[in-house]
Amino acid sequence: MSDLEEALTLTPTHDGASNAFADPRYESNTGMFGGWTAAVILKSVIDDAARLGTPSAITVNYIAKIDPGMHVVVRSRRVGGSRSLHHWQSEVLAGDDGRLFAHAMLVFADRRETDGHTEATMPDAPDPETLEEFHPPSTQGERCLVRPIVGSPPFARGSTASLAWVRDTTGRKVDEVQLAYLADSNAPRSFFWSEGPRLSATMTLSVYFHAIPEEVDQVGDDYVLTEAVGTRGASSTADQQTRLWRKDGVLLATSEQLAWYR
């Protein structure tokens, strides 16, 4: 079992919730890595026997810091839907006193074959093996291998655009849970117009899953190309839009994130 799989382990409780451990190996600079929170929430619904369909969207609101080493409770329930769409609500709570750390809404869909289009085009990117390695700061960064192409280091740049290959080094195959995790792997956009690091915390993160499971499965444990850009940062909030690409140009997922900074 890989480190990430261990960190996402859920143990069912008698009342239908699940217990999880905030593994210190996935700590960020301000508590647990936000991608871990999104991933463990998504996994809680995927593991639920009542779940139908495949992940289509998740939006996580980060309410309070999860300290590494804590035991938390993930409580998920279906709140409605139709024959094709299934809506879920999830919460992450402190295991001791029930404090609310994160709240999420998820949509699962019964995907059917249809016509379609992809407006965006995958940017040109060198082979990842030809690029220098970078590990983000904090313990979670030790297990996240980044091969920067554009926007590294992020400081004092005229643009907030970045492009990088990213890969989990623990050998876990990419799935929707891991895409949710990787959607939070980019540096905060406020770094890009600053001279150095500054305090930043994600307020809300949305991930939209475009690829069907068979397309995601073809990634294996290989690199995913992450393309990110900010729209605007002002008055302590800054956004980030992200696209996650498979090596052969298949758009796997997109993401929108709003962060608080000072």
CATH of the domain at 92: 2.40.160.210
Is residue 229 predicted with pLDDT exceeding 80? yes
The answer to whether residue 160 is domain-embedded is yes
- Is the sign of the CA dihedral 124, 126, 132, 133 positive or negative? positive
In this predicted structure, what is the pLDDT of residue 67?
95
Is residue 2 predicted with pLDDT exceeding 90? no
In this predicted structure, what is the pLDDT of residue 93?
98
The answer to whether residue 202 is domain-embedded is yes
List strand residue ranges (DSSP E) for the chain, in order: 11-12, 18-21, 27-28, 31-32, 54-62, 71-81, 85-94, 100-109, 144-150, 162-168, 200-209, 224-229, 233-234, 237-245, 251-261
In this predicted structure, what is the pLDDT of residue 170?
87
Token pair recorded at residue 83: 């024959």
In this predicted structure, what is the pLDDT of residue 17?
95
Q: Which residues, other chains included, contact 85 with Cβ-Cβ below 8 Å and sequence gap of 6+?
A: 53, 56, 107, 108, 109, 110
pLDDT band at 192 (very low <50, low <70, confident <90, very high): very high
The answer to whether residue 154 is domain-embedded is yes
Taking residues 17-44, report their average pLDDT. Answer: 94
How many whole angstroms separate alpha carbon 214 and alpha carbon 76?
26
Please tell me the total count of domains within the chain: 1
Q: Residue holding tokens 């915390």?
A: 201
The answer to whether residue 14 is domain-embedded is yes
The answer to whether residue 122 is domain-embedded is no
Q: What's the whole-number average pLDDT of the chain?
A: 95
Is residue 252 predicted with pLDDT exceeding 80? yes
Domain assignment of residue 135, given as a range: 3-111+127-261
Is residue 87 predicted with pLDDT exceeding 80? yes
Cα 251 to chain center, whole Å? 15
In this predicted structure, what is the pLDDT of residue 117?
94
The answer to whether residue 32 is domain-embedded is yes
pLDDT, one tens digit per residue, over 98-112 is: 999 999 999 999 999
Is residue 152 predicted with pLDDT exceeding 90? yes
How many whole angstroms separate alpha carbon 239 and alpha carbon 256?
7
Is residue 1 predicted with pLDDT exceeding 80? no
The answer to whether residue 158 is domain-embedded is yes
Token pair recorded at residue 184: 């939070």
Taking residues 17-43, report their average pLDDT. Answer: 94
Q: How many other C-beta atoms lie within 10 A of the C-beta of residue 23?
A: 22
Helix (H, G, I), strand (E, B) or coil at 223: coil
